[in-house]
Structure 1
Amino acid sequence: MLSTVRLAVANTLSAVRCSQALAPTVARSYSNSAPFGSLADEEVLQKLTTGELQHHNLERDLGNALRAVKLRRKHVASMLESNQKMSRELDHEGFDYEQVIGVNCENVIGYMPIPVGVAGPLVLDGRQYMVPMATTEGCLVASTNRGCRAIALSGGAHSAVLRDGMTRAPVVRMPDVIGAAALKDWVEADMSGERKLASLFESTSRFAKLKGIKVNVAGRNVFLRFEGATGDAMGMNMISKGVTKALDFLQDTFPKMDVVSISGNFCTDKKPSAVNWIDGRGKSVVCETIIQEDIVNKVLKTTSASLVDVNNVKNLVGSMVAGSIGEQVPCAISLSFFLKT
């Protein structure tokens, strides 16, 4: 039987998207421009029905975000009988919609409250962290908290960021394969062109820094995988703005180039892919902790041998049977491998 369990995880992590809600983006304020703000509620609802007012402009036209949400709810509820239950049961009071409109959500009719638990302390790189977790999954916080306790009793975990770069890969089309190859050569071999693209890319944000462009050609189609540093933000919108600026320059340089899509699925966003597995996307992190046998027994309520067996059968053999991309699981699930039993 193993006396200790050595657990190491190396995976590409996409930064947590919920952090976008906290990004330093300035919310729109419509308090100074409200062409329909003096109308009575019934008049507003009538104009929504006739199309004189549009749902997506209601905050601007009324100059009051909360009133816009309330009237939008009423109008949506009147459209279909099935919408009335949604309108009755969905919370909408007590929320600062001024911080949402134009930043995080459109056509807002309310919000879903999610309980937030806390796990910890998590001892990582010599520091203690309390980890807030917004979830409706029972036992998730409790099992994570138990894993944090096992790590703390073992002296903590250690981590290192191996790579940090968010990607966006537009697809463009050239008139022929010769043109596609010429574009690839220009992007990869012309240093002055690369510097120009970097300058344009970085002009759209004080945080964005272009780290490189990987080019793949499929017939006349050219996939340009831009990778950039985005500071503390997940940075998908930041990268997309920089890529758009670079594409404008490429179209001037290659007038016959057509932009097919700002994302050609070579990024790859929101989907498993070999390119993410191999080249990384977001933060590539390795973490390690050594948990002694007695802590495995007392805190995790299992044995070292059982954990190793589950890892082999589930994460390796099971992933192979399922045809998973890679024979390891995502880092969050790998963590739960020893945080939960």
Structure 2
Amino acid sequence: MAILPTKDYPNIASGGTQGDASKIRVENLIGFARIPLGLAGPLTIHGEHQKNKVYAPLATVEPTLVASCSRGCKAFESSGGIHAVVLSEGMSRAPVFRFASPIDAVSFYRQVPGLEEELRCWAEDTSRFAKLEKVVPHLLGKDVHARFVYTCGDASGQNMSTIATHKACQKLLAARGTELKIIDFQLEGQMASDKKFANIHVYEPRGVQVFAWGVLSDAVCKVVLGNSAARIHGAVMIGQQGAIRAGMMGSNVNVANILAAMFIACGQDAAS
């Protein structure tokens, strides 16, 4: 793809790349969207191994988002901060193996545990960091959806797990496809629910599962949040009832826009 000339698109020349638009890997590049960047915090996080005072960069055009987030941080900071522990980690990709009949699919489903070591060798050959932790099969008609779950070092690992799983599936099809009666495979069948919130993530988290908690005193609630702890708790309970009635997945108020603002500020895929 030819890079558009910066003389015709002045935003490119002043978009943070020192005029070198060739370093931007986006198709049909015409410029940059500039988003206001605010800083929320501080907030002390008590982890299992260390304690840190952190700030959150938020890229957003939504008025009051940074202020609201900062006020929440102030309330918890005044109450000793937040405690957090990592419970599990697992980036998944869920290919689908296709068969001519349900009985062939059942046979493969039962053999998946015995194939795990071979799949692990093939998958981990693609990366120094990807480690295949488990393969969990799900039988649906004549198809077997297999959730490949990885740890990926310090990376989010969505591309890493995709590349590793693709190679493992290709190798399996080439080496044992006829024996296992695999007709074909598709790299993803939506059981990984990539970039979509799904019920499966409640009990099989995709990414890092973190358990965090903090305690707000009544005094802090009144001074910082302008209401008593009892009234705030009551509002949360009412919100949960409404969320259940509406069929919502979860009952938070505005976590999504805070996370999106943080992801954009840090150069991450906002859909993740």
Q: Secondary structure at the match of 1:70?
A: coil
Are the equivalent residues in 2 in contact too, given 1:92–1:111 (CA < 8 A)? yes
**Which residue of structure 2 aligns with residue 49 of structure 1?**
none
Alignment partner of 1:262 is 2:262: no
| 2:131 paired residue among 176, 188, 209 | 209
Q: Does 1:323 align with 2:247?
A: yes
Structure 1 length as normaliser, TM-score? 0.67
Cross-structure match for 1:100:
24
Give 2:4's aligned residue: 69
Corresponding residue number in structure 2 for 1:249 = 171
TM-superposed CA distance for 1:294, in Å, is 0.8
90-99 or 242-251: bigger deviation: 90-99
Q: Where in structure 2 are there 5+ consecutive unaligned residues?
A: 260-272
Q: CA deviation at 1:335?
A: 8.9
Runs of 4+ deviating beyond 4 Å: 333-336
Between structure 1 and structure 2, the one with the greater Rg is: 1
In structure 1, distance between residues paired with 2:257 and 2:203: 18
The residue identity in structure 2 corresponding to 1:199 is: C
Aligned to 2:236: 311
Structure 2 counterpart of 1:117, one-letter code: G
Counterparts of 1:99 and 1:228, CA distance in 2: 31
Match of 2:96 among 171, 195, 219: 171
Q: Does 1:332 align with 2:255?
A: yes
CA RMSD of aligned residues (A): 2.4
Instruction: Report the CA distance between 1:213 and its aligned residue.
Output: 1.0
The DSSP-based 3-state class of the residue aligned with 1:117 is: strand
Using the alignment, how far apart are the partners of 2:23 and 2:124 within structure 1? 27
Structure-2 residue corresponding to 1:129: 54
Partner in structure 2 of residue 3 of structure 1: none
| Cα deviation digits, residues 277-332 of structure 1 (max 9, x gap) | 12111111111111111111011111111211111111x2112111123x544993
After TM superposition, give the deviation of residue 93 of structure 1 in Å: 2.1
Output the CA distance in 2 between the equivalents of 1:200 and 1:295.
54
Q: Structure 1 CA distance, aligned partners of 2:252 and 2:202?
A: 11
The alpha-carbon distance between structure 1 residues 304 and 259, as it changes in their structure 2 partners (threshold 3 A), is farther
Q: Does 1:234 align with 2:159?
A: no
Distance, in Å, in 2 between the alignment partners of 1:291 and 1:254 is 58
Matched, 1:291 2:216: yes
* Aligned mates of 2:254, 2:210 — CA distance in 1: 9
Supply the AA of the counterpart residue of 1:70: P
Alpha-carbon distance in structure 1 between the residues aligned to 2:35 and 2:258: 23
Aligned length: 248
* Matched residue SS, 1:269: coil
- Looking at structure 1, the residues matched to 258 and 212 of structure 2 have their Cα atoms a distance apart, in angstroms, of 10
Q: CA deviation at 1:248?
A: 0.7
1:118-151: per-residue Cα shift (whole Å, max 9, x none)?
1111111132112211111111111111111111
Percent of residue pairs bearing the same amino acid type? 31
